[in-house]
């Protein structure tokens, strides 16, 4: 690990405020501990208010130069960053795995998402299209164009400590914005590594370092970002409670937001499903990243006609799970992020036992021999009634609720009858069922899948959800429009000035 940290110029004690490669230090610190083995990784100083004001000032200066470059020129900078990520994919993926606790394969996969969104953004830099419209007035032309917003603030969560930041920055950069990143205080070290790599690209191209800035700290530092009038857009990923606070702060000043909040995702297994595929999707969706994805499968709805067969196969699959260090690629499941998450896991299981339920797989805390970390758990699976209030809540842990259903309409109702609306899935080989699920009468989520699970998303599609998930969209499709301001233009190329409603002036 020391070798990897030195690769990104990370020491035992690090500044937490960065304007490109310029470091600003302070006295108060965040200490990052690995959930893998409980060991200290490094310290990062907390951003002060004066440092934050300096970041805003330097970002504003940098944005003036950055926005004057053409979009393809900005795309070239993002291309260079993507190439640097390719070079350091394994090192950064290992650091992600060690600081966050996800498997090394997932850590490398997260860096691959960064590379992919850079590639997407490079192509996008030549496709920031507007529309041309016919005017109702003769010898007039109408069109719309898109301009940079200015400064984009990004608040990211611990579970995807680098990928979601890149979804935002890659698009925001090619759109002509500069970015200020507040990473989760649980995973600050990976942020420093990403910043170090991008500062190299800026330096090599003689560009202002304020194009990319990092600030670190707790809720107070985040509030400086959300309440600052110079920050034109806040893109925030986290809990619904956090999103409510962020949304309110930004709305007070009529700023823009992209909110990616809670998920409580259901996977429906039809009587006409390919059961082998459905089992694989269920297990991966429920235990991948130790249940700490916003798209993790939290609810499993199984048709009564195949219920016993499916549950038997599910038990067998869970019995084969290997839990341990995520750096060992033979293991399926690593730790939860910290002991607080383990306590929430245990508290939720205790609440389940107070309700009507059946234990399918017992969830519990476990110890890994020779490991000082107390963050490992065995995933739990519990059959519950469809109206159990616990199924309405998102718990960021590998707990899966199983509910039996009779008809597809009933399953869709159960799926939609929660406050969140991020991801959903139906396994079926029946065309009518799949089309019905994707119709307006079906899933109310921002993501609806057929014969693939709830977790994971390709960068080519817009990512986000409805209801308490926030309604924001990131990554692919036309999500880039969220990082720009729309302007409608009308050009009169005649010698006349026709006025509305035929009004005339004797001039």
Which residues form the catalytic set?
Answer: 260
Query: For residue 12, what are the β-bridge partners?
Result: none
Burial class, 39, CB count within 10 angstroms (exposed 0-12 / middle 13-18 / buried 19+): exposed
Taking each helix axis as running N to C, give the angle between helix 188-204 and helix 71-87, from 0 to 180 degrees, rounded to the nearest 10: 120
In a 13 Å sphere around the CA of 479, the CA atoms on its Cβ side amount to: 28
DSSP string, 349-418: HHHHTTSSEEEEE--EE---TT------EE-EEEEE-TT-GGGGS--SSSEEEEEEESSHHHHHHHHHSS
CB burial of residue 318 (10 Å; 0-12, 13-18, 19+): buried
- d(CA 428, CA 504) in angstroms, rounded, equals 66
3-state secondary structure of 487: strand
Q: Is 354 exposed, middle or buried (0-12, 13-18, 19+ CB in 10 A)?
A: exposed
Token output for 305: 């006609």
Element (H, E) at 489: strand 484-492
Distance CA 166, CA 50 (A): 27
From the list 291, 86, 63, the residue with the least C-alpha distance to 179 is 63
Rounded distance between C-alpha atoms, residue 198 and residue 359, angstroms = 49
What is the distance between the alpha carbons of residues 172 and 483, in angstroms, rounded to a whole number? 6
The two three-digit tokens of residue 453, written as one number: 């699970």
Residue 218 structure tokens: 């707790």
Do 284 and 318 form a contact (C-beta atoms < 8 A)?
no
Cα angle 399, 33, 219; round to 5:
80
Output the six-digit token pair for 269: 């297994």
Helices (H), 45-186: 49-68, 71-87, 89-100, 104-124, 163-174
Residue 241: CB partners within 8 Å, gap ≥ 6? none
- SS3 for 272-315 is CCCHHHHHHHHHHHHHHHHHCCCCCEEEEEEECCCHHHHHHHHH
| DSSP track, 134-162 | E-SSTTEEEEEEEEE-SEEEEE--SSSTT
């Amino acid at each position: 690990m020391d070798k990897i940290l030195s690769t990104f110029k990370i020491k035992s004690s690090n500044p937490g405020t960065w304007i490109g490669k310029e470091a600003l230090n302070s006295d108060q610190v965040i200490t990052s501990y690995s959930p893998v083995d409980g060991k200290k990784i490094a310290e990062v100083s907390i951003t002060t208010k004066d440092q934050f004001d300096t970041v805003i000032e330097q970002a504003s200066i940098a944005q003036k130069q950055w926005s004057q470059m053409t979009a393809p020129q900005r795309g070239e900078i993002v291309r260079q960053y993507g190439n640097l990520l390719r070079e350091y994919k394994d090192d950064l993926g290992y650091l992600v795995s060690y600081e966050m606790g996800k498997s090394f394969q997932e850590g490398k996969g997260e860096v691959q998402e960064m590379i992919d969104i850079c590639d997407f953004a490079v192509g996008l830099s030549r496709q920031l299209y507007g529309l041309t419209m016919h005017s109702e007035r003769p010898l007039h032309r109408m069109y719309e164009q898109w301009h940079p917003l200015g400064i984009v603030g990004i608040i990211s969560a611990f579970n995807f400590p680098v990928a979601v930041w890149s979804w935002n920055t890659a698009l925001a950069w090619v759109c002509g914005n500069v970015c200020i990143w507040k990473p989760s205080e649980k995973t600050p070290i990976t942020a420093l590594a990403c910043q170090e790599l991008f500062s190299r690209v800026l330096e090599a191209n003689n560009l202002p370092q304020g194009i990319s800035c990092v600030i670190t700290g707790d809720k107070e530092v985040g509030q400086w970002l959300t309440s600052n009038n110079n920050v034109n857009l806040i893109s925030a990923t986290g809990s619904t409670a956090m999103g409510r606070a962020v949304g309110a702060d930004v709305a007070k000043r009529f700023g823009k937001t992209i909110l990616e909040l809670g998920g409580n995702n259901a996977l429906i297994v039809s009587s006409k499903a390919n059961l082998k595929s459905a089992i694989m999707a269920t297990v991966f969706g429920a235990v991948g990243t130790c249940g700490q994805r916003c798209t993790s499968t939290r609810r499993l709805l199984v048709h009564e006609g195949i219920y016993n067969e499916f549950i038997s196969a599910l038990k067998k699959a869970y019995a084969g799970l290997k839990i341990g260090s995520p750096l060992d690629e033979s293991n399926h499941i690593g730790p939860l992020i910290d002991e607080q998450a383990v306590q929430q896991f245990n508290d939720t299981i205790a609440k389940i036992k107070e309700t009507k339920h059946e234990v399918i797989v017992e969830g519990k805390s476990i110890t890994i021999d020779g490991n000082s970390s107390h963050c490992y758990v065995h995933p739990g699976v519990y059959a519950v009634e469809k109206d159990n209030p616990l199924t309405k809540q998102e718990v960021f842990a590998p707990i899966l609720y199983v509910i039996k259903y009779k008809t597809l309409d009933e399953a869709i109702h159960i799926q939609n009858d929660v406050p969140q609306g991020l991801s959903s899935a139906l396994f079926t080989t029946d065309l009518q069922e799949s089309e019905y699920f994707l119709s307006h009468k079906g899933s109310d989520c921002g993501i609806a899948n057929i014969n693939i699970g709830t977790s994971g998303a390709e960068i080519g599609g817009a990512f986000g959800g409805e209801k308490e998930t926030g309604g924001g969209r990131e990554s692919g499709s036309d999500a880039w429009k969220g990082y720009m301001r729309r302007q409608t233009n009308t050009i009169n190329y005649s010698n006349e000035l026709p006025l509305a409603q035929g009004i005339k002036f004797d001039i």
